[in-house]
Amino acid sequence: MPSVNSIEQNGPFQVTIDKNVGPNNKGWIFRPSNLGSLDVKAHPIFLYGPGGGSHPSYYESSMIKVASHGFVIYSEESTASGDEMKRALDWIIQQNSNPSSPYYNKLDTTRIAAGGHSLGSVGAYAIASDPRISTTIHMNGGSLDGMGASKMRKPTALVCGLEDNLALENTRNDYRQATVPIWYGEMIGGGHGSGPFDGIPATIAWLRWHLAGETERKDMFIGEGEFYFNRGIWISHSKNWENYRD
């Protein structure tokens, strides 16, 4: 992946939105316009679930920013079951091996993240244990049944605003119960929409670490004292990293 000077700004790729795609033609794909360019032969994948009742278009500015860093994002309206994410995972992997697909041999199906906002975050827990998923990112959406941590298998990121009366306690509960390597970023003054908007630099940095192999990004999330996501609006919590190897 091309190096960048800032995770708060758009990356080097121009972005195209493919609408009405996916297993039910209800999804949007945000992707680099010229797949396979800038020395990236295969692009990592991010499955993103919008908040309840929200369309992918609501998150367009944030998803364009993430895609501009070289990621291919699939998004469609969310359900609590996460069934749409399961179907999307199968579909997008199939696209990479389909010679008639515009994504043919342009996707890195060994590097796939799942995540979402609010209800979309809850849905992402449905595929968190799938061995094809490398990491999950949960924004303002702790598990409703309190069982989210039991589904975590890979490094996990949680983000929530300290003023989020809907998701804060559930998110904290998922963090407390987690046994996988996990980072939890709390946003001072952040409400229920904080994670996918003001907090989107954390998603970009996390994906660049876990999907693009930029292991130096670890220092932005984990450590002591003042570091990137433990200053300003951010308060960082992390655990279970002692035996983790990138």
pLDDT digits (tens, 9 = 90+) for 145-196: 989 999 999 999 999 999 999 999 999 999 999 999 999 999 999 999 999 9
The tokens for 68 are: 């501009």
Going by C-alpha positions, the residue among 144, 203, 214 that lies closest to residue 173 is 144
> What's at 231, amino acid-wise?
R
In angstroms, what CA-CA distances link 50 with 12, 159, 238? 25, 15, 25
54: alpha, beta or left, given left = phi > 0 and alpha = psi -120 to 50?
Answer: beta
The tokens for 80 are: 């609590």
Q: Where are the domains of the chain?
A: 15-239
State how far the Cα of 243 lies from the Cα of 184, in Å rounded to an integer: 18
pLDDT digits (tens, 9 = 90+) for 190-244: 999 999 999 999 999 999 999 999 999 999 999 889 999 999 999 999 999 999 9
- Helix H or strand E segment including 168: helix 168-177
Strand partners, 161: 187
Average pLDDT, the chain: 97
Q: What is the pLDDT of residue 245?
A: 85
DSSP three-state, residue 51: coil
pLDDT at 128 over 90: yes
**pTM attached to this predicted model:** 0.97
Map tokens 């291919």 to a residue: 72
State how far the Cα of 183 lies from the Cα of 237, in Å rounded to an integer: 6
Domain 15-239 matching CATH 3.10.20.520: the answer reads no
